[in-house]
Amino acid sequence: MEPIIRATNLVKRYGKVTALDHCDFELMPGEILAVIGDNGAGKSTLIKAISGAVTPDEGEVQLEGQTVHFRSPIDAREAGIETVYQTLAMSPALSIADNMFMGRELRKPGWRGKVLKQLDRRRMEEFARQKLNDLGLMTIQNINQAVETLSGGQRQGVAVARAAAFGSKVIILDEPTAALGVKESRRVLELILDVKSRGIPIILISHNMPHVFEVADRIHVHRLGKRLCVIDPKQHSMSDAVAFMTGAKEPPVAA
Amino acid sequence: MTSQDYEGAATGASADVAHFEDEQKGLLGHFQHALHVTPALVPLIVLLVGISIFGLILGERFFSPGTLTLILQQVQIVGILAAAQTLIILTAGIDLSVGAIAVFCTVIMGQVTFRYFIPGAEGMFDCLIGASERDLARAIEAGTASGHCNPTLGSILSSVAIVIGLAVGTIIGAISGWLVARVKLPPFIVTLGMWQIVLAANYLYSRNETIRGRDIAEAAPPLQFLGTTFSIGGANFTLGVILMLVLVVVLAYCLRSTAWGRHVYAVGDDPEAAELAGVNVRRTLISVYMIAGFICALAAWAMIGRFSSVSPSASTGVVGNIQAITAVVIGGISLFGGRGSIVGAFFGALIVGTFELGLRMAGADPQWTFMLIGALIIGAVAVDQWIRKVAA
């Protein structure tokens, strides 16, 4: 089977620091691939190189067999790759609907949209409410309330809903459960499985081993700027994974 | 794997989402929430209170259509500049050059008209470069005794000069915007420098000459077009006032109901988040500075209408920026960006105008006005901080 995303030989240097050192990466269709690694291993840089936030110095990224050169997250988004950043990338003072449609607003049909460029608020609000309901994620009364008035879990939910609503090929989730409570984490995990069941592959970056082992099909272990190995969560234990990513244990020969 | 069992303990928990009694918010809480949703409410209340107080003290003399519309006429320049300032401050920037750009554009509009287009007798040929000899003769014949071109030609040419002035304002804005968005210099520094550069260019280019109102009225009436006055039932309006009102309405629409407006707020709120969410931050910033420059040039046109003459040493060049910032801050727009509405800035400008005129009519020392405005600025920022604490 052809990987949906294949990155080969990625190199990224920040001054004297090498964040990515000839790193390879593969994401298969329909799978949940977890990316784990110690702090500073270069996970974030790898993900940014794929999501367009960082342009690698060397190497190439292929999406469905085609080489792509993303110069910004907008490029990646247009190609169907949606990312939920750890910072969530939301404007706190703007409403949920505004945030969901940021950068891809809907305009009213007819002259009001074409000439006056008027936004179609009703359509955007309906869509946003629909998506939040679909995910059964939360009880938000008012789709027009500012994002800053939401709790951490609700914000995360809105960000995931945004990605799930628009991501057509790949969804990248960076530490989606890091800031959440037990019940909220559970909902986000259910949501991840729900998105997977629709056939969209997911890249999940997480430090939470129980969460990773619960939902991931494969686990990419990142160490010292490159892929150390890819392991099957059914054949390895969490302590194995931690041992690999910290260098306490040698990786299996072939993944 | 039995590691997930710990979550099983939560299954028996109540499924209710945390919710709070509305009563706990109380009247103050509701008020705070209302302000959070409609930030222009604070300056509106202050404005209405101010007008009522002066109305009570001064009676008919103040509370008449003539006086109230006089306030509008007096704040039109600051009001227009405040509209430009609002856009910049919404992106978490600040523009110290608005007044200087406005004055420079008045000079451009005036000097281009009188130096190149209709320069008087000895410069006659300059104004008709490229015309045939017969045309020249006819033009000279048609010219007035003092050597001016005829008024129709003057009108057309000065209209061209206005367009040039508007273009110059936009270009200066574009340069600032480029420096802020591309070179990533702080807006304060860029516009502080631009303020000095533009003001100096203004004196150098104008050779510190004033163009008299009478000359403009005779030879180039379009320059004074925005000074055109009309009354409706005792209320006096100028076209400059109408321009200000239209500008506020148009910008309010753009900021509220277009994607561009939402992007302006998002960029001011958190530029990195906006970028990641798919907003072209650079283009948004440059467009904001360009539009602000254009609005400053509109203020320039309104200035010629209001003062009828063109003077490079108009006080707007030096204090216009501070006046505009004052109106914006009193109008409840956050200096940290992303919060506030242009209508608030308009109310802010009106508040300053109301207190200035009201206190003058009441015979108070003008220093009281400044003292009051100072207190209002601090009060407005304090209210902004309070509103930010709201959780809806």
Domain A5-246 falls in which CATH fold?
A: Rossmann fold (3.40.50)
Give the pLDDT mean for A43-53. 88
Average pLDDT value for chain B:
86
Instruction: State the pairing for strand pair A81-84/A170-174.
Output: parallel
State the burial class of residue B315 (Cβ atoms within 10 Å of its Cβ: 0-12, 13-18, 19+).
exposed
Give the pLDDT mean for B91-95. 96
The predicted structure's pLDDT at residue A141: 67
Instruction: Give the residue among B22, B11, B169 at the shortest CA–CA distance from B105.
Output: B169
User: Could you tell me the pLDDT band of residue B21, with boundaries at 50, 70 and 90?
Assistant: very low
Helix (H, G, I), strand (E, B) or coil at B218: helix
Alpha-helix runs per DSSP H in B258-313 = 259-269, 271-277, 281-307
Q: B172-221 pLDDT, tens per residue?
A: 999 999 999 999 999 999 999 999 999 999 999 999 999 999 989 988 89
Q: Do A102 and B13 touch (CB under 8 A)?
A: no
What are the structure tokens assigned to A248, written together? 């306490």
Q: B362-379 pLDDT, tens per residue?
A: 998 989 988 999 999 999
The predicted structure's pLDDT at residue A153: 77
pLDDT at residue B274 is higher than 60 = yes
pLDDT at residue B141 is higher than 60 = no
A120 touches chain B (CB under 8 A): no
Q: Is B59 part of any domain?
A: no
**Residue B364's domain is classified under what CATH number?**
1.10.3470
pLDDT at residue B391 is higher than 90 = no
Q: A216-246 pLDDT, tens per residue?
A: 999 999 988 889 899 999 999 898 888 888 8
Q: B98-132 pLDDT, tens per residue?
A: 999 999 999 999 999 999 888 763 334 444 444 45
The predicted structure's pLDDT at residue A194: 84
d(CA B307, CA B270): 41
Between B354 and A134, the more confident residue is: B354
User: Could you tell me the pLDDT band of residue B11, with boundaries at 50, 70 and 90?
Assistant: low
The predicted structure's pLDDT at residue B20: 43
Backbone angles phi and psi of A134, in degrees to 5: -50, -45
The predicted structure's pLDDT at residue A71: 87
pLDDT at residue B82 is higher than 90 = yes
Using an 8 Å Cβ cutoff, are A78 and B283 in contact? no
d(CA A230, CA A220): 4
d(CA A68, CA A51): 11
The predicted structure's pLDDT at residue B24: 52
Query: Which of A103, A119, A146 lies at the smallest CB-CB distance from B392?
Result: A146
Residues with Cβ within 8 Å of residue A45, at least 6 apart in sequence: A12, A19, A20, A54
The predicted structure's pLDDT at residue B240: 96
The predicted structure's pLDDT at residue B39: 77
Q: What length does chain B have?
A: 392
Q: Is B287 part of any domain?
A: yes
Tell me which residue range forms the domain holding B109: 39-52+68-116+151-388
Between A73 and B270, the more confident residue is: B270
Q: Is B32 part of any domain?
A: no
Using an 8 Å Cβ cutoff, are A203 and A50 in contact? yes
Among A97-111, B98-112, B141-155, which stretch is predicted with the lowest mean pLDDT?
B141-155
Chain A residue numbers touching B262 (CB-CB < 8 A): 94, 98, 102, 105, 119
Average pLDDT value for chain A:
87
d(CA B209, CA B311): 7
Distance from CA of A222 to the nearest CA of B (A): 23
Chain B residue numbers touching A91 (CB-CB < 8 A): 265-266, 269-270, 273-274, 277, 338
Interface of B with A in 273-312 (CB under 8 A): 273-280
Residues with Cβ within 8 Å of residue A151, at least 6 apart in sequence: B18
Using an 8 Å Cβ cutoff, are A118 and A95 in contact? no
Residues with Cβ within 8 Å of residue B230, at least 6 apart in sequence: B236, B237, B238
Q: What length does chain A have?
A: 255
Between A16 and B139, the more confident residue is: A16
A17 touches chain B (CB under 8 A): no
Helix (H, G, I), strand (E, B) or coil at B349: helix
d(CA B90, CA B93): 7
Q: Is B12 part of any domain?
A: no
Cβ neighbours, 10 Å, residue A129: 16
Query: Which of B258, B266, B390 lies at the smallest CB-CB distance from A91?
Result: B266
d(CA A170, CA A203): 8
The predicted structure's pLDDT at residue B135: 56
* Count of structural domains within chain B: 1
Give the pLDDT mean for B248-260. 95
d(CA A147, CA A123): 19
Distance from CA of A105 to the nearest CA of B (A): 6
Helix (H, G, I), strand (E, B) or coil at B203: helix
Give the pLDDT mean for B12-31. 57
User: Could you tell me the pLDDT band of residue A186, with boundaries at 50, 70 and 90?
Assistant: confident
The predicted structure's pLDDT at residue B323: 94
What are the structure tokens assigned to B82, written together? 């405040």
Q: A169-180 pLDDT, tens per residue?
A: 999 999 888 877
Using an 8 Å Cβ cutoff, are A20 and A46 in contact? yes
Scan for tokens 């939920």, then name that residue.
A84
Cβ neighbours, 10 Å, residue A70: 23
What are the structure tokens assigned to A26, written together? 């593969």
CA terminus-to-terminus distance, chain A: 16
Q: How far is CA B371 from the centre of its chain?
A: 23
pLDDT at residue B88 is higher than 50 = yes
Between B281 and A140, the more confident residue is: B281
Residues with Cβ within 8 Å of residue A234, at least 6 apart in sequence: none
Among A104-113, B310-319, B341-350, which stretch is predicted with the lowest mean pLDDT?
A104-113
d(CA B173, CA B162): 17
Q: A3-46 pLDDT, tens per residue?
A: 999 999 999 999 888 889 999 999 999 999 999 988 888 888 89
